């Protein structure tokens, strides 16, 4: 019997729907069509059920949040393979195959090597847990001693590990709270310095940049950046303070000199006035020119002395005014330089791209344009492939040069209206205004091609720098950071798919 053609199967399917008195729904049609055509019945994708499961998953850690987001992403696209990958990553284990499974009775006993590895794991974690809790230290010492003793009873070790894990959770939580409180105190200090300097906009800008740089999640690289910026602020503040104090002292000296000279002039003027009155009285009493001559001589002498004092006072006041003008010019130049330093606080010092503070401001500007003109806006998140491997193999200086290379090529490949920002570590964000999703993906693909043409030179060695990227178009009512988070999820999928790829969110 020859196989039925598709139109014959479709016609028979419609007859069976009528015969069986079934509602002509897509599901009923598909089931009967598959039955007549001999196609295996594939269960419908349980999207609602899987979404309920995803919502029930805890998101207490950043890793759980990321993997649940990937699960929801796969469910929305009805991708079974993506669902499987996300669930395995969320659980943090790879399930063993049935053929590898062994009955519990044949499981190997806990070895001394395994116990020693647990001990080393505890020792490695101790520096992050502090040394303030004496009871915790004693418990740690006792457990480590028992783990290193080959004669220790397994049941006793298990009980000690259970008790220690509870204590460890408390210690870890305390350290996390301590770090959070210290960060809050640090932010309060930054905020207070900024508020106390209302007229010093350069310092306010530095404080804003420091608050951004010290925001979680922290890394050693970001902490180094905070330290460098803080030292820069302290140096600039000290320089400004010293110059301001010197200017204030100069002004005090000039004001004191002015008051002294004014007092002398007043006294001199009073003496001159008295001398004139005395001379007028003597002239009235004079009976001959012989009596008037000495009086006129005294008047001429007093007038010359008065003129000389006035000229001296005028010269001194003029010098004071010139000195005050020079001081004002120096302070103006100093504040202009500090304003320049403050503007640089919006940029990443290594690559010259915007930092997180500058990115936030750029996003606000672009969102304002989107709302006003109703134009599309894409956000791309780039992550250099195998960056840790490059750092470990060739050193951090080479890694920094690679970041600079990517930033340089990106700037030269972008449009004037596009914005490049360093998002953290080896991650960059590019804002693409007036760009729909398909064109945003094309722009990132062009940048990848450009990098293949321009090798990164590490000494005499040519290294191909590649990146994985996710691109998200801003949705209506969506915040900029939410769009970047969607781009981050797409970038993660691009990494999982083999790297050096661009995926849309």
Could you tell me the residue range of the domain that residue 87 belongs to?
6-91
Please state, rounded to an integer, the average pLDDT across all residues of the chain: 76
Q: Where does a domain end: 131, 165, 196?
A: 196
Maximal C-alpha separation, the chain: 163
Residues 498 and 371 in one domain: yes
Tell me what pLDDT residue 53 has. Answer: 86
CA-CA-CA-CA torsion for 29, 35, 40, 41, nearest 10 degrees? 40
Kindly report the length of the chain.
505
Tell me what pLDDT residue 123 has. Answer: 78
270 inside domain: yes
CA-CA-CA-CA torsion for 383, 385, 386, 387, nearest 10 degrees? -40
Q: What is the DSSP string of 305-354?
A: HHHHHHHHHHHHHHHHHHHHHHHHHHHHHHHHHHHHHHHHTTB-TTT-SB
Residues 336 and 360 in one domain: no
335 inside domain: yes
- Contact, 443 vs 379, CB < 8 A? no
**Strand duo 456-458 + 461-463: pairing:** antiparallel
Residues facing residue 502 across a β-bridge: 469
Residues 271 and 153 in one domain: no
Residues 386 and 336 in one domain: no
Measuring CA to CA, which residue among 406, 434, 435 is closest to residue 422?
A: 406
Tell me what pLDDT residue 437 has. Answer: 92
Q: How far apart are CA 64 and CA 161, in angstroms?
A: 25
Helices 356-373, 201-213: inter-axial angle, 10-degree rounding? 100
Q: Where does a domain end: 310, 344, 378?
A: 344
Tell me what pLDDT residue 98 has. Answer: 38
Q: Where does a domain end: 196, 227, 250?
A: 196
- Contact, 467 vs 406, CB < 8 A? yes
Residues 474 and 371 in one domain: yes
Residues 284 and 375 in one domain: no
H-helix or E-strand containing 494?
helix 480-496
CB atoms under 10 Å from CB of 294, counted, come to: 12
Q: What distance, in Å, lies between the first and last C-alpha atoms of the chain?
A: 49
Number of domains in the chain: 4
230 inside domain: no
Q: 336-339 long-range contacts, Cβ below 8 Å, gap at least 24?
A: 338/200, 338/202, 338/203, 338/236, 338/240, 339/201, 339/202
Q: How far apart are CA 14 and CA 451, in angstroms?
A: 56
Q: How far is CA 114 from CA 111, 155, 163, 379, 426, in A?
A: 5, 15, 19, 47, 36
Residues 368 and 491 in one domain: yes
CA-CA-CA-CA torsion for 192, 194, 199, 203, nearest 10 degrees? 140
SS3 383: strand
Residues 176 and 281 in one domain: no
335 in the Ramachandran plot: left (φ > 0), alpha (ψ -120 to 50) or beta? Answer: alpha
Residues 362 and 499 in one domain: yes
140 inside domain: yes
29 inside domain: yes
Q: What is the pLDDT along the chain (505 residues), one digit of tens a residue?
A: 456 777 788 888 888 888 888 877 777 777 888 888 877 766 667 777 888 888 888 877 767 777 788 888 888 777 787 788 888 777 654 343 433 444 444 444 567 777 777 877 887 777 777 666 777 778 788 888 888 887 777 778 777 887 777 677 767 776 777 777 777 777 777 767 666 554 555 566 666 666 666 666 665 555 666 666 666 666 666 666 676 677 667 666 766 666 666 666 666 666 767 766 776 776 667 666 666 667 666 767 767 776 776 777 777 767 777 777 777 777 677 666 665 555 556 778 788 888 888 888 889 889 988 888 889 999 999 999 988 888 888 888 888 888 989 999 998 888 888 999 998 888 999 999 999 999 999 999 999 999 988 888 877 788 888 999 999 999 988 888 899 999 999 999 998 888 889 998 8
Residues 266 and 180 in one domain: no
441 inside domain: yes
Tell me what pLDDT residue 267 has. Answer: 65
Residues facing residue 347 across a β-bridge: 354
H-helix or E-strand containing 461?
strand 461-463
Q: How far apart are CA 240 and CA 344, in angstroms?
A: 18
Q: How far apart are CA 284 and CA 277, in angstroms?
A: 11
Q: How far apart are CA 166 and CA 161, in angstroms?
A: 9
Could you tell me the two tokens for 149?
């003793």
Measuring CA to CA, which residue among 309, 317, 338, 93 is closest to residue 237?
A: 338
Q: How far apart are CA 230 and CA 217, in angstroms?
A: 19
Residues facing residue 469 across a β-bridge: 382, 502
Q: Residue 168 contacts by C-beta under 8 Å, 6 or more apart in sequence?
A: 129
The CATH number assigned to the domain holding 402 equals: 3.30.70.270
- Contact, 496 vs 480, CB < 8 A? no
Phi, psi (5° rounding) for residue 210? -65, -40
Measuring CA to CA, which residue among 65, 75, 103, 113 is closest to residue 217?
A: 65
Q: How far is CA 4 from CA 35, 230, 363, in A?
A: 12, 79, 59
Given CA atoms 465, 468, 472, 478 in this order, what sign does their dihedral have? negative
Residues 61 and 191 in one domain: no
Tell me what pLDDT residue 498 has. Answer: 86
473 inside domain: yes
Measuring CA to CA, which residue among 470, 471, 476 is closest to residue 495?
A: 470
Tell me what pLDDT residue 201 has. Answer: 57
Residue whose tokens read 């960059």 = 428
Residues 488 and 387 in one domain: yes
């Amino acid at each position: 019997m020859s196989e039925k053609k598709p139109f014959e199967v479709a016609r028979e399917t419609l007859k069976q729907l009528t015969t069986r008195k079934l509602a002509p729904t897509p599901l009923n049609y598909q089931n009967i069509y598959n039955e007549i055509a001999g196609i295996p019945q594939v269960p419908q994708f349980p999207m609602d059920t899987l979404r309920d499961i995803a919502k029930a998953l805890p998101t207490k850690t950043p890793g759980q949040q990321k993997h649940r987001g990937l699960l929801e992403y796969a469910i929305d696209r009805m991708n079974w393979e993506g669902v499987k990958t996300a669930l395995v990553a969320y659980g943090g284990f790879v399930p063993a195959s049935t053929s590898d499974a062994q009955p519990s009775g044949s499981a190997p006993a806990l070895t001394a090597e395994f116990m020693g590895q647990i001990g080393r794991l505890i020792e490695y974690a101790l520096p992050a847990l502090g040394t303030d809790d004496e009871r915790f230290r004693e418990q740690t010492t006792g457990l480590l001693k028992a783990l290193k003793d080959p004669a220790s009873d397994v049941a006793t070790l298990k009980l000690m590990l259970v008790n220690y894990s509870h204590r460890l959770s408390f210690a870890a939580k305390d350290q996390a709270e301590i770090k959070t409180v210290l960060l809050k105190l640090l932010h309060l200090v930054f905020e207070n310095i900024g508020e106390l300097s209302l007229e010093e906009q350069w310092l306010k800008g530095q404080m804003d940049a420091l608050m951004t740089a010290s925001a979680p999640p922290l890394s050693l690289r970001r902490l180094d950046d905070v330290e460098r910026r803080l030292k820069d602020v302290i140096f600039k503040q000290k320089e400004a303070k010293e110059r301001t104090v010197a200017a204030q002292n100069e002004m005090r000296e000039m004001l004191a000199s002015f008051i002294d000279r004014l007092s002398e002039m007043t006294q001199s003027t009073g003496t001159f006035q008295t001398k004139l009155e005395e001379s007028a009285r003597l002239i009235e009493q004079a009976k001959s020119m012989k009596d008037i001559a000495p009086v006129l001589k005294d008047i001429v002498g007093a007038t010359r002395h008065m003129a000389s004092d006035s000229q001296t006072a005028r010269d001194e006041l003029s010098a004071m005014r010139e000195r005050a003008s020079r001081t004002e010019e120096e302070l103006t130049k100093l504040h202009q330089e500090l304003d320049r330093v403050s503007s640089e606080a919006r940029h990443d010092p290594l690559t010259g791209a915007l930092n997180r503070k500058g990115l936030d401001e750029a996003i606000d500007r672009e969102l304002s344009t989107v709302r006003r003109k109703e134009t599309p806006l894409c956000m791309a998140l780039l992550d250099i492939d195998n960056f840790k491997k490059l750092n470990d193999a060739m050193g951090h200086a080479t890694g920094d040069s690679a970041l600079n290379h990517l930033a340089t090529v990106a700037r030269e490949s972008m449009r004037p209206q596009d914005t490049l920002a360093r998002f953290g570590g080896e991650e960059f964000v590019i804002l693409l205004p007036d760009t729909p999703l398909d064109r945003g993906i094309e722009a990132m693909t062009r940048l990848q091609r450009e990098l293949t043409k321009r090798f990164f030179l590490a000494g005499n060695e040519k290294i191909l720098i590649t990146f994985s990227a996710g691109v998200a178009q801003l949705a209506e009512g969506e915040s900029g950071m939410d769009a970047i988070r969607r781009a981050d999820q797409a970038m993660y999928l691009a990494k999982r798919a083999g790297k050096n790829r661009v995926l849309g969110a």
